[in-house]
Structure 1
Amino acid sequence: MNKPLILVVEDDKAIRKLITTTLETQGYQYHTAGTGEGSILEAVSKQPDIMILDLGLPDMDGVDIIKKVRAWSNMPIIVVSARSEDRDKIDALDAGADDYLTKPFSVEELLARLRVSLRRVRYDREKLQKDASVFTNGNLKIDYAAGCTWLDGEEIHLTPIEYKLLCLLAKNVGKVLTHNFILHEIWGGFASDIPALRVFMATLRKKIEKTPSQPKYIQTHIGVGYRMLRVGDEGNFPDPKP
């Protein structure tokens, strides 16, 4: 991918300048918008690879922007916001954001999050050219058609719930999935709760992680949910213990 195009949606001129200067020094192309309406117009007309989005815009809440974009686009959306409460993060991620960075932030961390998202974009594009029935991530392989999973070339036996959880994470690799989203997708939101989800996730990790206390594939976002890392990305974000 040559010179990825980033859409920066931020009404604070100083922060917008900080982000765009950082992008420019790294060779990224960018467009900017300072309002929600402007961000939608830019997203539709410019078709950026990634959107960096502030939630507190003067004319529209950022969560509403995420929902509007998700109606027609799967581009990664990285939220950069002063809102630090878990509820704000969950709302944004449930609406379809891929990542959430709290202000104040370091430009190094922002660039790391961008690199992860760009790897996801590259992978998604390559995936269209491959057989979509097989997922491979490092030494982990899932054959969706056969309903089988291998690790280091050996088949591992998962319970039906563990397999569903693994497939859900794999089909959203690189994206934080909230507890509520997972519960709805796996159990319809009725048959289980967050403590039970943590138990299933712990048993799944024991089967696919060589060192469950230092997971390689499944990253915990405490109070929010889980993310499957593309192997090679996990070094960017230390994983809290579940």
Structure 2
Amino acid sequence: MAKTILVVDDDADIREVIHVYLRNEGYHVIEAEDGIQALEYLQKENVDLMILDLMMPRLDGVQTCLKIRLASNIPIIMLTAKGEDQDKITGLSAGADDYITKPFNPLELVARVKAQLRRQQLNTKQEEESSAVIRLEGLEIDRSRHLVTVRGREVSLTPTEFSILELLASHRGHVFGTDQIYEGVWKDPALYYSENTVMAHIRNIREKIEENPKTPRYIKTVCSPLSDSFDEAG
């Protein structure tokens, strides 16, 4: 059965280009012109992935993403303005799993869609195979339930944030570079944007699980002149 992709953008031409390329790959594509219409579709359609524009009238991409994350963990790829790093960080902070900047290469977007769907399938398979709970001095990660608690307080993480935390927690004391984290979580080779993507997610995770994100207890940074690496400590 074909996967259903919801494309949300107020620009009809952009929707049409994305629609054509995804349809040629065998996907079932639904189009929405703003966040309100997108939320209406989600109530009646079984959507497997969403491509969501950041800037839209009525309900923008950030607010739409926040509302979706209250009830769903479907993969979300955010479309952001070229060169606006803050837009990328804002999109990821709202719960997006990935982003691509306008103007974009439709073939790259299709590749991102495939990667997100592949990762979702792998994560589902891993969850079915493992029901272990990882415990690290006040931090508990329940793999089967996709549930994280810190000293008994439930923490809401996006699917990507959960996967990063699970990767680090499963290799306590091991130092990971940002490229390693990207390849381990996204299941794709690291590219030029990988470091910024990983760093934005790491910041979000720290804000949610650390008592003081500036002096983290669980995810610590080991700095080198060329890159940041991360060490999961208990």
TM-score (norm 2): 0.66
Is 1:93 matched up with 2:92?
Answer: yes
| Pairing of 1:78-157 with structure 2 (within 5 A) | 78-82=77-81, 84-133=83-132, 149=171
Q: Partner residue of 1:202?
A: 229
- The separation in 2 between residues aligned to 1:54 and 1:47, in whole angstroms, is 20
- The separation in 2 between residues aligned to 1:112 and 1:148, in whole angstroms, is 28
Report the CA distance between 1:82 and its aligned residue.
2.4
| Pairing of 1:1-242 with structure 2 (within 5 A) | 2-82=1-81, 84-133=83-132, 149=171, 158=173, 173-174=185-186, 176=198, 177-185=200-208, 187-192=210-215, 197=221, 199=223, 201-202=228-229, 204=231
Partner of 1:80: helix, strand, or coil? strand
The letter of the residue matching 2:81 is A
Report the CA distance between 1:126 and its aligned residue.
1.6
The letter of the residue matching 1:192 is T
8 Å CA contact retained: 1:49, 1:121: no
Partner of 2:129: helix, strand, or coil? coil
Partner of 2:215: helix, strand, or coil? coil
| Greater displacement, 105-114 / 82-91 | 82-91
Q: What is the root-mean-square deviation of aligned Cα atoms in Å?
A: 3.3
8 Å CA contact retained: 1:53, 1:77: yes
Partner of 2:128: helix, strand, or coil? coil
The count of aligned residue pairs is 179
TM-score (norm 1): 0.64
- The separation in 2 between residues aligned to 1:203 and 1:128, in whole angstroms, is 24
In the alignment, structure 2 segments of 5+ residues that lack a partner are 134-142, 144-165, 187-196
* Deviations 1:71-99, CA, capped at 9 Å, x for gaps: 00000000123253111111110110001
- The separation in 2 between residues aligned to 1:34 and 1:51, in whole angstroms, is 13
- The separation in 1 between residues aligned to 2:230 and 2:38, in whole angstroms, is 42
In the alignment, structure 1 segments of 5+ residues that lack a partner are 136-143, 150-156, 206-242
Report the CA distance between 1:114 and its aligned residue.
0.6
Identical-residue share of aligned pairs (%): 34
- The separation in 2 between residues aligned to 1:20 and 1:97, in whole angstroms, is 20
The letter of the residue matching 1:116 is A
* Deviations 1:93-121, CA, capped at 9 Å, x for gaps: 01100011000000111011011101122
* Deviations 1:10-65, CA, capped at 9 Å, x for gaps: 11111111000001111100111002110001122112100001111121111000
Report the CA distance between 1:148 and its aligned residue.
6.3
Report the CA distance between 1:179 and its aligned residue.
4.2
Q: Partner residue of 2:137?
A: none
8 Å CA contact retained: 1:180, 1:189: no
